Structure 1
Amino acid sequence: MTSADVLTDAYERIKEVVHEAVEGLSEDDLAYRIDKSANSIAWLVWHLTRVQDDHIADVAGVEQVWTAHGWYDRFGLPIDRRATGYGDGPDDVAAIIASAELLTGYYDAVHEQTLRFVRGLTDNDLGRIVDTRWDPPVTLSVRLVSVISDDLQHAGQAAYVRGVIARTE
């Protein structure tokens, strides 16, 4: 098994959790928040997808799926097209309203772009410095694992909120 195979497996696991967290839910369910300061499933999945899209596009040297393939326009959200959810407050979270189909459609498009990039990597590629704003500078491997970690945490949070919704019905 190569490093690219391990990374591919990790990103495939994120996809499974994302789909399980949103499929079959209404927009109202996806917008449900445990309290007024909590994140909704819609925001969690949108955010994890935006971060993956932003970070992978950057290291791959391609345009983000969000803008290149019209997802920003399809979502029609009252947000800046560069928004990824970092620093969002309760009002920002509440603004993210989307259907399960829209969320998984965007996620799947980002997932495909991610896999196209990751499957082409060699072990030698992983040591490439991709961000010099940090000390030590961030390597490609660190960035890819960071996205996996962040995405799995948020997907797990979305699955938890789904469980709360199921128990309140």
Structure 2
Amino acid sequence: MNTAEVLADAYGRIQEVVHSAVDGLTAEEVAVRLDDEANSIGWLVWHLARVQDDHVADVAGREQVWTADGWDKRFDLPFPAGTIGYGHSAAQSGQVEVADPALLTGYYDAVHAGTLDYLGGLTDDDLDQVVDERWDPPVTLGVRLISVIGDDLQHAGQAAYIRGILLRRR
């Protein structure tokens, strides 16, 4: 297994958790917030997909799937198109509502496909390329891709946890 295959496997695990957290839930269930300050499954999955889309598109030098494929129009959220949810207040988090939970998994699947396409062309040497000099030390491609995996898995796990609570309440 090479590095690109290891990364693809890790991103595939995110996709599995996203689907297990969302599939079979209603629009009302993905919008549930366990308290007024909590994120919903809908916000968590939207945010993790937006972060992955934003970060991978940036290093790949391409437009985000969000705008390129019209997902921003399909979601019709009250935010600028470039919003990824970073720094959202509780009130903003509560504004992420979807009429059909399949929209969340559909968008994530489109982002995932773009990620796999990008990863398929990487070599081990590519991972040492500096992609963000705003940090000390500067961020390499490898660090950026692993950072997205870590962030996304945390949010997907949070969504799965909320799902478990909701299913026990049924």
Q: TM-score, normalised by structure 2?
A: 0.98
Taking the TM superposition and a 5 Å limit, the aligned residue runs for 1:12-161 are 12-98=12-98, 99-161=100-162
After TM superposition, give the deviation of residue 38 of structure 1 in Å.
0.4
Stretches of structure 2 lacking an aligned partner (at least 5 in a row): none
> RMSD across aligned C-alpha pairs, in angstroms?
0.5
Q: For 1:134 and 1:97, how far apart are their aligned partners in 2?
A: 34
Q: Distance in 2 between matches of 1:61 and 1:16?
A: 26
For residue 166 of structure 1, what is the aligned residue in structure 2? 167
Q: Secondary structure at the match of 1:56?
A: helix
CA deviations 1:123-169 (Å, max 9, x no partner) are 01000000000000000000000000000000000000000101112
CA distance in 1, matches of 2:94, 2:57: 27
Name the SS for the 1:126 alignment partner: helix
Q: Give the deviation of 1:94 after TM superposition.
A: 0.8
Structure 1: gaps (5+ residues) = none
Deviation at 1:119, TM superposition (A): 1.3
- In the TM superposition, residue 80 of structure 1 has moved relative to its aligned partner by 1.0
The DSSP-based 3-state class of the residue aligned with 1:83 is coil
Corresponding residue SS for 1:91: helix
Report the identity percentage: 62
Task: Tell me by how many angstroms 1:25 deviates.
Answer: 0.6
Opposite residue 37 of structure 1, the aligned amino acid is E
Aligned length: 169
Deviating runs (4+, > 3 A) in structure 1? none
